[in-house]
Amino acid sequence: MDSKQRFSDRVDNYVKYRPSYPASMVDFLLSRVDHPNTRVCADIGSGTGILTGLLLPHFSEVWAVEPNDEMMAFAESSCSEFPAFHSIKASAEETTLEGQSVDVVVVSQAFHWFDQEKFQSECRRILSPSGFVALIWNSRRADTPFLEAYDRLLKLYATDYNEVNHQNISPEQLARFFSGGHEKFLFPNSQSFDLKGLFGRLDSSSYAPKPGSPEYDLLRKELREQFERHAAGGRVEFLYDTEVFFGSVN
């Protein structure tokens, strides 16, 4: 499937059940920007605008660049009240932004879908000479009995989970992208779900089996069993490390 269309039929669940980003991470990004209220940020692969909405109060302009119509439409409906918000339908590799017009490029949950070499060239084109890039992922942990079981079931039943997992991005790939050097930072994050929310979180992922497939029913059956085994007070916890790879491509 075209990576730009993978989430077209999952926007509702994406909005309701995907994690946001911790305030400590936003504070970190702002601490690296001189006078952010006068700076321009580009959120590339901005999706439904989860990160965009957190950054809008702090920058003079935020350009949300997204190729998917359904995701972009939601971002526009939720962020348009901010004067700083601008929406562009474009790819990461050809953003259509003006050269050297951006001080900060952020990418959340999307870099692993990009052509990395072409995106690096585009970042070099649009960034100001002192600009930086932040690649961000909410990386789900697998160090509790429930999360370990969840990950095992995804590997067993999810459509192409192993192939599209962002954790396939290697340190060597990151070093090539951040040709000017980079650092890694971690911030704790979490969500809590009842059974309905757990299924919604599953269905927000592009690799989740769709209704009508044998894997859809098998995964739900086993996931319900794991929920009943591990839930406390009718809920299970999703724990994340919000990873930020921060550096320069120049």
pLDDT digits (tens, 9 = 90+) for 38-66: 999 999 999 999 999 999 999 999 999 99
pLDDT of residue 7: 58
Does 132 score more than 80 pLDDT? yes
* C-beta pairs of 25-31 under 8 Å, 24+ apart in sequence: 25/136, 25/185, 25/187, 25/189, 25/242, 25/244, 26/54, 26/55, 26/58, 28/185, 28/187, 28/244, 29/55, 29/104, 29/106, 29/134, 29/244, 30/58
Higher pLDDT, 8 or 90: 90
Average pLDDT of the chain to the nearest whole number: 94
Q: What percent of the chain has pLDDT over 70?
A: 95
Going along the chain from its start, the domains and CATH numbers come out as: 3-140+164-191+240-247 (3.40.50.150)
pLDDT of residue 5: 54
Does 115 score more than 60 pLDDT? yes
pTM of the model: 0.93
> What count of other Cβ atoms lies within 10 Å of the Cβ of residue 134?
21
**41 three-state secondary structure:** strand
Does 14 score more than 70 pLDDT? yes
Q: Supply the Cα-derived Rg of the chain in whole angstroms.
A: 18
pLDDT digits (tens, 9 = 90+) for 186-242: 999 999 999 999 999 999 988 889 899 999 999 999 999 999 999 999 999 999 999
pLDDT of residue 158: 87
pLDDT of residue 161: 79
Edge-to-edge, what's the strand order for the sheet holding 102-108?
Answer: 85-88, 61-65, 40-44, 102-108, 127-140, 236-247, 182-193
Rounded to an integer, what distance in angstroms lies between the CA atom of residue 221 and that of residue 218? Answer: 5
Average pLDDT over residues 147-157: 95
